[in-house]
Chains A and B, each alone.
Chain A
Amino acid sequence: NAGVTQTPKFRVLKTGQSMTLLCAQDMNHEYMYWYRQDPGMGLRLIHYSVGEGTTAKGEVPDGYNVSRLKKQNFLLGLESAAPSQTSVYFCASSIGLGDTQYFGPGTRLTVL
């Protein structure tokens, strides 16, 4: 039982490049989340999903897209990276609404 895993762990992009961050969970959780963590800002919710095939915008969705084609996977895409997207990205999952969220190890992204 690996819990929540994320790939890659680190990535450096140039402005305008695109990439996809992968999150996988093996706990059969319905809910999945993407957060970004920035110094002094805490965790901010980017997008979330309440089940396979569903996605919804969080607090800071601009510049990101997501997909949940399989229950265990939640992908976060950056179509045209900007320096403001330099951050640490965390994926989380929970059994249901209001339940404990379990986090992945994070992806540290730098956009030059």
Chain B
Amino acid sequence: GESVGLHLPTLSVQEGDNSIINCAYSNSASDYFIWYKQESGKGPQFIIDIRSNMDKRQGQRVTVLLNKTVKHLSLQIAATQPGDSAVYFCAEPKAIFGGATNKLIFGTGTLLAVQP
């Protein structure tokens, strides 16, 4: 079936290094992706999104790259800080119930651990 998933369950980086979190998807018709950050005991927090008409989008210290050819997207975090430690999910809205609403399909998640 269709899915949005992540390659690596955990990623450990040194403070100040750049982090790259990967995500694969299976539906070539997917046209919108969202990255969320979830800290322990908190709700998913929107980071950045990208639509399929773009290959790259930048935010504050974050960049999302979309490769539609291989159905892969990545989240790059520059100069990773201890506050970046969290689980990161890529997500895709999927129409359900005949398009009456969308359900967010989340990947398994990658735990980013920033070492001081």
Contacts and interface: CB of A to CB of B under 8 A. Distances in A.
B34 interface: yes
Contact of B46 (A59, A100, A105): A100
Q: Is the interface on chain A under 10, 10 to 19, 20 to 34, or 35 or more residues?
A: 20 to 34
The B interface is mostly helix, strand or loop, or mixed, namely: strand
Interface in A52-87: 56, 58-59
B6 to A, nearest CB: 12
B63 to A, nearest CB: 18
Contacts of A103: 36, 43-46
28 contacts: A4-B43, A6-B43, A42-B106, A42-B108, A43-B44, A43-B106, A45-B96, A48-B101, A56-B100, A56-B101, A59-B96, A59-B103, A90-B44, A92-B104, A97-B99, A97-B102, A98-B32, A98-B93, A98-B95, A100-B34, A100-B46, A101-B93, A101-B102, A103-B36, A103-B45, A104-B43, A105-B43, A106-B43
